[in-house]
C-alpha cells in the first residue's frame, strides 16, 4: 500500500491534539493559510470555532494550533463550524461590512435586526426597512411622521413642548404657592415656606407669629381662643 496516495492518506491515522481520538489524516481539517500539519479533528475544530466567537470578535477567531496565530478565513469557518455558529459569524461579518459604509443604517424597530444602505439624496428622509417594512425618519431618529414634512413635525413638536413646559411651570408655581406664604407681619412680606409641623408659624425675619391657614395673629389666639381664627379656617372654634 502506497501511503502517499489518497487511499493511503485515509489509512494513516493521527491523534487529535484536543480529544486524543485517532483520526484518519485525510479526515483532519486542513486550513487555508496554516503551514503546520493538520492536528485537530473536525468535531474539536467546530467546538473551538464556537468558543473563539464567544470570547472574541469575529475578526479574531484563530487556528487552535499551539504555535499558530493564523486567523481563520471565511472559507475555513464556513467549512468547519457548526451551521449555527457559521450563521452567527456570517451575521457579524455582514454587519461589519454594512457599518463600514457611511450611508448604512440599522432598523430601530423592536425585534428587527435588518440593516441596509440608505442614501438620503435618493430615498429622502424616510428609511424604509427592507426586512420588516417599518418607516423611520432619519432626521428625528423616530417613527416616520406620516403626512407631515420634517418642518411640519418640528413645528408641531415645538408647540407641544412649549405647552408641556408651560404646564410644568404652572404646576411648579402652584406647588410653590401651596408651600409658601408671605409673612403678614406689619411691613414684613418675607416669604416663608412650610415643609412640615403644625400651623403655628413664626417668621424668622420679624418674629411675627401667625396661623399658616388663615394668617391671623397667633398671639391673639393665645390671648383669647380659637375664635380669633377666620371662620373659614380649620382651627376656628366658637
- The pLDDT of residue 222: 92
Domain boundary among 100, 128, 163: 100
Residue 121: inside a domain, yes or no? Answer: no
Listed residue (223, 209, 156) closest to 181, CA to CA:
209
Residue 173 lies in a domain: no
> If you ran DSSP here, which 8-state letter would residue 94 be given?
H
The number of domains in the chain is 2
Helix (H, G, I), strand (E, B) or coil at 209: strand
Q: Who's near 57: CB < 8 A, 6+ residues apart?
A: 92
Using CA atoms, how far apart are residues 17 and 228, in angstroms rounded to an integer? 99
Domain coverage including residue 32 = 13-100
Examine residue 89 and state whether it is found in any structural domain, yes or no.
yes
Domain-located, residue 81: yes
CATH assignment of the domain containing 49: 3.30.40.10
Residue 41 within a domain: yes
What b/e readout covers 151-168, taking b as 16+ CB neighbours within 10 angstroms? eebeeeeeeeeeeeeeee
| Domain boundary pick from 100, 129, 155 | 100
Cell for 196?
412640615
> Could you give the CA distance from residue 152 to residue 58 in angstroms, rounded to a whole number?
44
CA distance 18 to 185: 91
Mean pLDDT by runs of 10 across the 238 residues of the chain is: 42 80 81 81 87 71 79 86 87 77 81 79 76 87 84 78 77 80 90 85 92 93 93 92
Amino acid at each position: 500500500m502506497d501511503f502517499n496516495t489518497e487511499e493511503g492518506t485515509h489509512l494513516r491515522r493521527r491523534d487529535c491534539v484536543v480529544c486524543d481520538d485517532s483520526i484518519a489524516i485525510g479526515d483532519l481539517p486542513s486550513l487555508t493559510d496554516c503551514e503546520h500539519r493538520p492536528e485537530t479533528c473536525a468535531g474539536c475544530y467546530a467546538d473551538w470555532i464556537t468558543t473563539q466567537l464567544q470570547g472574541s470578535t469575529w475578526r479574531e477567531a484563530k487556528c487552535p494550533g499551539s504555535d499558530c496565530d493564523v486567523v481563520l478565513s471565511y472559507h475555513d469557518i464556513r467549512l468547519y463550524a457548526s451551521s449555527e455558529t457559521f450563521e452567527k459569524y456570517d451575521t457579524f461579518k455582514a454587519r461589519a461590512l454594512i457599518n463600514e459604509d457611511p450611508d448604512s443604517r440599522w432598523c430601530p424597530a423592536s425585534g428587527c435586526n435588518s440593516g441596509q444602505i440608505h442614501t438620503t439624496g435618493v430615498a429622502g428622509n424616510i428609511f424604509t426597512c427592507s426586512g420588516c417594512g417599518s418607516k423611520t425618519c432619519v432626521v428625528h431618529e423616530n417613527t416616520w411622521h406620516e403626512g407631515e414634512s420634517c418642518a411640519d413635525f418640528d413645528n408641531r413638536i415645538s408647540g407641544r413642548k412649549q405647552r408641556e413646559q408651560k404646564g410644568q411651570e404652572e404646576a411648579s408655581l402652584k406647588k410653590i404657592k401651596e408651600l409658601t406664604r408671605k409673612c403678614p407681619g406689619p411691613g414684613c412680606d418675607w416669604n416663608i415656606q412650610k415643609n412640615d409641623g403644625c400651623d403655628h408659624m413664626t417668621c424668622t425675619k420679624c418674629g411675627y407669629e401667625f396661623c399658616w391657614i388663615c394668617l391671623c395673629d397667633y398671639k391673639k389666639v393665645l390671648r383669647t381662643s380659637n375664635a380669633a381664627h377666620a371662620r373659614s379656617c380649620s382651627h376656628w372654634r366658637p
